[in-house]
Amino acid sequence: MAIGRNPIVVEHIRKTRMTELLSKGNRLSGRGLLEYRPIKIETGLIEKASGSAKVSIGNSQVIAGVKVEMGTPFPDTPNQGLLVVNTEVLPISSRYAEPGPPSEDAIELARVVDRGIRESKMIDLQKLCLIPGKKVLAVFIDVSVLDIDGNLFDTISYACTAALATAKIVQYEVSGEEIKASEEKIPLPVKTIPISITMARIHDALIVDPDLEEEAVMDARLTLATDSDGNICAGQKGCPGGFTVEQIMQAKDIAIEKGKENRELLKKMTGIA
Amino acid sequence: MAIGRNPIVVEHIRKTRMTELLSKGNRLSGRGLLEYRPIKIETGLIEKASGSAKVSIGNSQVIAGVKVEMGTPFPDTPNQGLLVVNTEVLPISSRYAEPGPPSEDAIELARVVDRGIRESKMIDLQKLCLIPGKKVLAVFIDVSVLDIDGNLFDTISYACTAALATAKIVQYEVSGEEIKASEEKIPLPVKTIPISITMARIHDALIVDPDLEEEAVMDARLTLATDSDGNICAGQKGCPGGFTVEQIMQAKDIAIEKGKENRELLKKMTGIA
Amino acid sequence: MAIGRNPIVVEHIRKTRMTELLSKGNRLSGRGLLEYRPIKIETGLIEKASGSAKVSIGNSQVIAGVKVEMGTPFPDTPNQGLLVVNTEVLPISSRYAEPGPPSEDAIELARVVDRGIRESKMIDLQKLCLIPGKKVLAVFIDVSVLDIDGNLFDTISYACTAALATAKIVQYEVSGEEIKASEEKIPLPVKTIPISITMARIHDALIVDPDLEEEAVMDARLTLATDSDGNICAGQKGCPGGFTVEQIMQAKDIAIEKGKENRELLKKMTGIA
Amino acid sequence: MTTLINEEGLRVDGRRIDQLRPFKLEVGVLRNADGSAYIEMGKNKIVAAVYGPKEVHPKHQTLPDKCLLRCRYHMSPFSTDTRKNPAPSRREIEISKILREALEPALILGDYPRTAIDVYIEVLQSDGGSRCASLTAAALALADAGINMRDLVVACAAGKIEGKIVLDLNDAEDKEGEADVPVAIMPNLNQVTLLQLDGTVTREEFKTAFELALQGCKTLYDAQRATLITKYFGKAEPPQQEAQESQESQEE
Amino acid sequence: MTTLINEEGLRVDGRRIDQLRPFKLEVGVLRNADGSAYIEMGKNKIVAAVYGPKEVHPKHQTLPDKCLLRCRYHMSPFSTDTRKNPAPSRREIEISKILREALEPALILGDYPRTAIDVYIEVLQSDGGSRCASLTAAALALADAGINMRDLVVACAAGKIEGKIVLDLNDAEDKEGEADVPVAIMPNLNQVTLLQLDGTVTREEFKTAFELALQGCKTLYDAQRATLITKYFGKAEPPQQEAQESQESQEE
Amino acid sequence: MTTLINEEGLRVDGRRIDQLRPFKLEVGVLRNADGSAYIEMGKNKIVAAVYGPKEVHPKHQTLPDKCLLRCRYHMSPFSTDTRKNPAPSRREIEISKILREALEPALILGDYPRTAIDVYIEVLQSDGGSRCASLTAAALALADAGINMRDLVVACAAGKIEGKIVLDLNDAEDKEGEADVPVAIMPNLNQVTLLQLDGTVTREEFKTAFELALQGCKTLYDAQRATLITKYFGKAEPPQQEAQESQESQEE
């Protein structure tokens, strides 16, 4: 279920119309079933962050910022740096987003995005280790949601990926127990570019990038992320509805193909190799 | 006042009947005034815990688990290990138990059980000290309440005692500042077996082990714990009612005598010496 | 806006009367516009604190206590001790003060008082440093509000100032990395005595020390603190109303002049030089 | 560990084993509260305030047939040797509960259906026995608020130090002693409304301690009554003086 | 790192790659709950309880046309290798949400307008796949509570360890393996109601893992049904035995 | 400590002592909000959104005779030099309160009884003077939402660095300077609606700083008006350009 879904009542007539159109392969907005809304990516606007990206998909709009701090590794992974993804659905973003502790929806959002980045091994955490068991770099990616018009999963995910891929961090030189910050700024150790594709089922139709109206009537949601090699690296089904086994297989293929497209787009817009 | 008491309305007729019976020395359930419901104790079901016990008294049912961690001693007791008792009245246990932070009742429960164990000196905390002022063992006893039918004080208390008495912990060898875990597992340093006896006053009658219906009408509650030597080692009066001075003296004798009985039962059921 | 203001409805007739009187330079209580209610200051009643003061202005009554602990300095001020002001508006103080986390009003109160002390440089924080970057003294000033009758800003502020000015703390001797508590007790390193003056605008009148009734009808509030040299060292405008530029200039002069008066009073009552 | 009882049988603060600490009672110490009281008991300095009977918030807590009694025991951060975190601890939550349950039998709550009474206790300085002193003050504050009561409630602890049963433990005795037994009674109704036990005592010691605590309660009850009489009927002598004298004469 | 699959193709606990861990199902294990169930799946020990349909608190959450379904997945502090903080973690909050969404399609919530059903899951001991085992138990508890259902929900994970797709990962395999794919289905309605993926798999591996998980679900579904039949129609053989036999015969 | 004013009288960022930082104003930057605005002021990047007038939740906060104004000032975790914890700090709670009180006199709240207006301010990047920039943006967002207003509110700080009174402190000047005096006014009504002072100034310096801040407010007020005119009457030139020119011409 999308944030802000519950309170929205799409009038019955509009919903019937939506279903009719979908059965013919069309959407209310005129988009094709597998067509994304315009995607805009702007990087580097937050100078105080190591990396940042403002991403909009249609009217959904978020900003992600990357901060790097010194930290202590977890006891069971003494050679790995830390990665923390945190999402805040700000009250400015929708009349249904209240200030206060993160909702269940916001927690799911943050955790799914986190898994997409973590499990794809986008960032080589080993390279963020300075002194094994003692000092590592901790990478915080915070996302502020500014405007909600559906498909926050992908909007947030692209913002995190773009901010990480363009971040520049202080280089440290370690000799023994001594850590010295060099003048040099270097990129994060990026190994792959994960791209999530979020799909919705409305009656029998499978569409990508649902907008707020579509989220209000969708039966089920599926987000699948793929890495640069076209492997699937994270998945999350949501909403109180299901998919048939066949739809899951179809969704898997869509995720891989659309993922390739959007990855190229993201690379072009951020200027990364 | 017992958890789940407030919302229960025992019908007037049943209550009158209960009082009538009690005045003749009988209870609705057919039990004698100083008779416990069946007590069941099963230990060792949680393999991931150092010790564990599932205890039921009548239909009240709880599980206690013991975990041991490394910790730092309090500055004013540098030679003592730590002991923490925590009780959670799970929402599965009653339709009146809500999820969320522990209620006043749950906090009282945990603290009274904690005092029963701590003040009886059941565990020799000095023996849990590894390096004075620096490293000690911290023993956590967590209790999950699964089903509520009155007298949680004793049910939880017996579960903690049984879990602690049967726990096996890693043995540490200390030489200087170095701490080495040995292969050996050893019991906790148990010095005595505290047993709490909870009594209720309903009108002029004093009964032990009140069930949920009896808790719903009781005027006052008194829990007294005794150690293996028959000394009294913890006490707590509860409920918005009082006891006469004579009733307190009577309760003290009951606690010592029933305590002896239940201690033997617990020892037999857990197989401890 | 004062704590407890909202629920108080000063009857219309009383309010009209108040405004009429003020326009002639008089107040309901008979006080002059720039006249404080009686101020009482008693120090040293909390023997367990390093310093303490009970202050009442009219019927408003608070107690401040000073505790000193060892602490670690902030990384950006390695040579400075710590100063923490904390205010609790206790539920005993008013029928409108609820127990629970501090309200917005209580947070503003504590922060304004904190700034008055901190920015005046009353306490020489450099002198609270024991080992630069490692060990400093942390001074906690906690205020318990006992009874509310308006102008808590000044009541609390005077209590903090009096408690700090009369506190005696343990003297430490530092040699290398070793810190030794001496037998000697010494005063805190006090450099100046900040005094806040709180003013209210009701229609066109500017008054000092508003009582609860006056706070209930005031349009805007202004607190200005001055140090022993007559410099202004903290300011805070409150309430949903404004001041003209001319009123601000007038308020500045009042704060400096009344500040001098009340500083002499405080010095006399606490016996400090 | 220091010696808590010297060879002359005197305690660290010079008291005999059956002697109360100096104490002081006042009522009507706050202006906003409907009733209030202040107690000093050794180093304990505690103020109690009562608001009510009043409307119940939140409304769903309203009881149709009687008054809702609520109680909050709280310690100021400067009240303890090392600074206390101002957030309510589990200890404070438990004590709030047992104090409420110890006061409730004394109140005729059926006289005020659909309302609430709040008892707020603030420990400004704590010493051994702060829960007992709080109860003694809270009962006075309730009387000062004009709440209908069946009896006063008065509390005092006895304990065991160095093998001896003694009255009214102070901080040092509480920390280093072997047991503490706080007791509250409604003296005229012969009802024990609070009883706790921390530490270990034999069957006989329990009886001795309990009876000694009741004796302490009696002295404090006389002082409570004198305080109220002085406040409401203007008796000239300060009641705490009287109380201490009566106590001393009793002990000599 | 240890070897997770030996040269004979057996896993650390002796299982073949397509074999479930030993499991045990029970219903009606609690007295107060309207429905309850208990599952052991490897070292997982999980109890699920259902309360409802019942009045909605807080009232403003009431739905005019259907029942409000709520779900809480919680781990006891002693359930994990190192003690778990009892406050709900972000992980527990997320799992609670996806379990609720996985159960909801099976329930005919329109039959109970303006009421609530609470599903409480307590993990007493956790092992790999606790969310799947929780779902399987929760569906049983809902059936035990007599809630109108379209189908049962049953869940099982497959995963990838040392390059091989295997069924039903245990703790060690979950931690050191390359991917975990938990799946829940309503078997008769052919609806996948939970699907997650942690780790990296190729397009083909995804298909293989997904299908293997569905196969595990089928075995567990038979056991669910047998458990309910035994409870309500008194069939003599303990269902978990039957379940395991059917599974073994299937695998031989 | 670095030198904040060089021998030519220029500040660390090259400004003269009475010069504002470069700024930029926009309105209508968000789609869901009823009104919104964006400000850049030095490195400050702040977005303000207004929702309302709307129903009041929770209901008991409803005011019978006027609109309930609420305000939240919040900083994104990446907005500061070291990451900011996302939970609201005491500083943010205080600033939220004084911003609300600074905006309230400008709004005709009696026009919207029994409703609420929420003003949400998000600091995406913070620099010295973020509370003033927030106010300037919030007033624009309120106007953009079409709320009835008596006047705009505009804010600017002056301060003292190295003994000199200067306009509009940036981060470095705020941290190392001697005093900061944020001021907000309703220019047409001649009402000061926010005034704070951190640091120490003499009686004369206070007057000078206060008047300098008012001068900064005037420049920003012209820019606010131009921004609204451009948005609603389609004037061609981007207002922030105009604003900066007018400021520069004023200063030369």
Calculate the CA D133 to chain-centre distance.
3
Judging contacts by C-beta atoms under 8 Å, the chain E residues touching residue B137 are none
State pLDDT tens for residues E85-110.
Answer: 999 999 999 999 999 999 999 999 99
Residues ≥6 apart with Cβ < 8 Å to A24: none
Distance CA B53, CA B61 (A): 11
Judging contacts by C-beta atoms under 8 Å, the chain A residues touching residue E69 are 240
Q: Do chains E and A touch (3 or more CB pairs under 8 A)?
A: yes
Q: Is F118 helix (H, G, I), strand (E, B) or coil?
A: strand
- Kindly state whether residue F89 falls inside one of the protein's structural domains: yes
State pLDDT tens for residues B100-113.
Answer: 888 899 999 999 99
User: How distant, in Å, are the alpha carbons of B229, B251, B263, D199 from that of D203?
Assistant: 11, 11, 17, 13
Q: Which of these ranges, A84-98, E66-80, E134-148, F37-51, has the smallest mean pLDDT? A: A84-98
- Of C151, C153, C116, which Cα lies nearest the Cα of C227? C116
Residue D224: what are its φ and ψ, rounded to 5°? -60, -50
pLDDT at site E248: 42
Instruction: Supply the range of the domain harboring residue E136.
Output: 23-235
List all chains that touch chain D, counting a touch as 3 or more CB pairs closer than 8 Å.
B, C
List all chains that touch chain C, counting a touch as 3 or more CB pairs closer than 8 Å.
D, F
Distance CA F31, CA D187 (A): 71
Counting residues of chain F whose pLDDT is more than 90, the rounded percentage is: 89
- Kindly state whether residue A190 falls inside one of the protein's structural domains: yes
Report the residue of A43, A48, A95 to disrupt the F interface, i.e. the one with the largest count of F CBs within 10 Å. A48
H-run or E-run covering C175: strand C168-175
Successive 10-residue mean pLDDT values, chain D, 252 residues? 85 96 98 98 98 93 95 98 94 98 98 97 98 98 98 98 97 94 97 97 97 98 97 66 41 38
Give the mean pLDDT of A147-166. 98
DSSP state of C228: T
State pLDDT tens for residues C210-222.
Answer: 999 999 889 999 9
- Kindly state whether residue A170 falls inside one of the protein's structural domains: yes
Is residue C86 within 8 Å of C80, Cβ to Cβ? Answer: no
Is residue E201 within 8 Å of E160, Cβ to Cβ? Answer: yes
Instruction: Supply the range of the domain harboring residue B109.
Output: 12-270
Give the mean pLDDT of F83-100. 96
Phi/psi region, residue F52 (left: phi>0; alpha: psi -120 to 50; beta: rest), is left
- Kindly state whether residue D241 falls inside one of the protein's structural domains: no
Is residue D36 within 8 Å of D47, Cβ to Cβ? Answer: yes
pLDDT at site F243: 40
Give the mean pLDDT of A7-32. 80
Looking at every residue in chain C, the average pLDDT score rounds to 93
Using a CB–CB cutoff of 8 Å, tell me whether D200 touches chain B.
yes
Please state the domain count of chain E. 1
pLDDT at site D245: 41
More confident residue, A8 or B46: B46
CATH number of residue C166's parent domain: 3.30.230.70
Q: If pLDDT is split at 50, 70 and 90, which confidence band does E235 have?
A: low
- Tell if the CB–CB gap between F194 and C243 is shorter than 8 Å: no
State pLDDT tens for residues C147-166.
Answer: 999 999 999 999 999 999 99
Comparing CB atoms, the residue among F198, F199, F203 nearest residue C252 is F203
pLDDT at site F251: 40
Q: Which of these ranges, A246-255, B174-183, C190-199, E237-246, has the smallest mean pLDDT? A: E237-246
Give the mean pLDDT of F89-96. 97
pLDDT at site C10: 56
Q: If pLDDT is split at 50, 70 and 90, which confidence band does F63 have?
A: very high
pLDDT at site D249: 40
D203 exposure class (CB count in 10 Å sphere: 0-12, 13-18, 19+): middle
Give the mean pLDDT of A16-45. 93
Counting residues of chain E whose pLDDT is more than 70, the rounded percentage is: 92
pLDDT at site E41: 98
pLDDT at site B176: 86
- Kindly state whether residue A2 falls inside one of the protein's structural domains: no
- Kindly state whether residue F252 falls inside one of the protein's structural domains: no
- Tell if the CB–CB gap between C245 and F190 is shorter than 8 Å: yes
pLDDT at site D235: 64
The sign of the CA dihedral F151, F154, F160, F166 is negative
Instruction: Pick the residue from chain E with its C-alpha nearest to B46.
Output: E125
Comparing CB atoms, the residue among B49, B92, B93 nearest residue E78 is B49
pLDDT at site B17: 84
- Kindly state whether residue D217 falls inside one of the protein's structural domains: yes
Give the mean pLDDT of B201-214. 94
- Kindly state whether residue D209 falls inside one of the protein's structural domains: yes
Instruction: Pick the residue from chain C with its C-alpha nearest to D88.
Output: C100
Instruction: Pick the residue from chain B with its C-alpha nearest to D186.
Output: B242
Residue E242 has pLDDT above 50, yes or no: no
More confident residue, B81 or E3: B81
Give the mean pLDDT of F141-165. 97
- Kindly state whether residue B3 falls inside one of the protein's structural domains: no
Judging contacts by C-beta atoms under 8 Å, the chain A residues touching residue F74 are 90, 99
Residues comprising chain A, all counted: 273
Give the mean pLDDT of A238-263. 97
List all chains that touch chain A, counting a touch as 3 or more CB pairs closer than 8 Å.
E, F
- Kindly state whether residue D52 falls inside one of the protein's structural domains: yes
Please state the domain count of chain B. 1
Give the tokens for residue E214: 């569905």
Judging contacts by C-beta atoms under 8 Å, the chain F residues touching residue A147 are 30-33
Using a CB–CB cutoff of 8 Å, tell me whether E115 touches chain B.
no
More confident residue, A5 or B25: B25
Instruction: Pick the residue from chain E with its C-alpha nearest to B94.
Output: E32
Comparing CB atoms, the residue among F94, F186, F201 nearest residue C108 is F94
Residues comprising chain F, all counted: 252
Looking at every residue in chain E, the average pLDDT score rounds to 92
Q: If pLDDT is split at 50, 70 and 90, which confidence band does B19 have?
A: confident
Residue A112 has pLDDT above 70, yes or no: yes
pLDDT at site C102: 86
Calculate the CA E44 to chain-centre distance.
10
Looking at every residue in chain B, the average pLDDT score rounds to 93
User: How distant, in Å, are the alpha carbons of A66, D64, F210 from that of C112?
Assistant: 34, 44, 19
ipTM score assigned to the predicted complex: 0.92
- Tell if the CB–CB gap between D78 and C93 is shorter than 8 Å: no
Give the mean pLDDT of E134-144. 98
DSSP string for D150-216: SS--EEEEEEEETTEEEES--HHHHHHSSEEEEEEEETTTTEEEEEEEEEEE-HHHHHHHHHHHHHH
Judging contacts by C-beta atoms under 8 Å, the chain C residues touching residue F104 are 240-241
State pLDDT tens for residues B121-135.
Answer: 999 999 999 999 999
Taking the CA of residue F224 and the nearest CA in chain C, the distance in Å comes to 20
Using a CB–CB cutoff of 8 Å, tell me whether F202 touches chain C.
yes
pLDDT at site B9: 53
Counting residues of chain C whose pLDDT is more than 90, the rounded percentage is: 82
Taking the CA of residue C155 and the nearest CA in chain F, the distance in Å comes to 20
- Kindly state whether residue B4 falls inside one of the protein's structural domains: no
- Of C235, C234, C237, C230, which Cα lies nearest the Cα of C257? C230
Instruction: Pick the residue from chain D with its C-alpha nearest to B250.
Output: D207
Give the mean pLDDT of F116-130. 98
Q: Which residues of B touch E (CB under 8 A)?
A: 45-49, 52, 59, 61, 63-67, 69, 86, 88, 90-95, 99, 140, 142, 144, 146-149
Using a CB–CB cutoff of 8 Å, tell me whether D214 touches chain B.
yes
Judging contacts by C-beta atoms under 8 Å, the chain B residues touching residue E120 are 90-92, 99
Taking the CA of residue C101 and the nearest CA in chain D, the distance in Å comes to 8
pLDDT at site C14: 76
Distance CA C64, CA C145 (A): 9
Instruction: Pick the residue from chain E with its C-alpha nearest to B4.
Output: E32
Give the mean pLDDT of C113-137. 95
Distance CA F63, CA F66 (A): 6
More confident residue, E230 or E245: E230
Residue A187 has pLDDT above 70, yes or no: yes
Give the mean pLDDT of F118-129. 98
DSSP H helical ranges for chain C? 12-23, 104-119, 152-165, 212-217, 245-270
Looking at every residue in chain A, the average pLDDT score rounds to 93
State pLDDT tens for residues C167-196.
Answer: 999 999 999 889 999 989 999 999 999 999
Give the mean pLDDT of A186-195. 97
Three-state secondary structure along chain A? CCCCCCCCCCCHHHHHHHHHHHHCCECCCCCECCCCCCEEEEECCCCCCCEEEEEEECCEEEEEEEEEEEECCCCCCCCCCEEEEEEEECHHHCCCCCCCCCCHHHHHHHHHHHHHHHHCCCECHHHHEEECCCEEEEEEEEEEEEECCCCHHHHHHHHHHHHHHHCEEEEEEEECCEEEEEEEEEECCECCCCEEEEEEEECCEEEECCCHHHHHHCCEEEEEEECCCCCEEEEEEECCCCECHHHHHHHHHHHHHHHHHHHHHHHHHHCCC
Judging contacts by C-beta atoms under 8 Å, the chain F residues touching residue A61 are 30-31
Residue C9 has pLDDT above 70, yes or no: no
- Tell if the CB–CB gap between B46 and E47 is shorter than 8 Å: no
CATH number of residue E107's parent domain: 3.30.230.70
Instruction: Pick the residue from chain F with its C-alpha nearest to A90.
Output: F122
A95 exposure class (CB count in 10 Å sphere: 0-12, 13-18, 19+): middle
Judging contacts by C-beta atoms under 8 Å, the chain B residues touching residue E83 are 67, 69, 140, 142
- Tell if the CB–CB gap between B91 and E120 is shorter than 8 Å: yes
Q: If pLDDT is split at 50, 70 and 90, which confidence band does E246 have?
A: very low
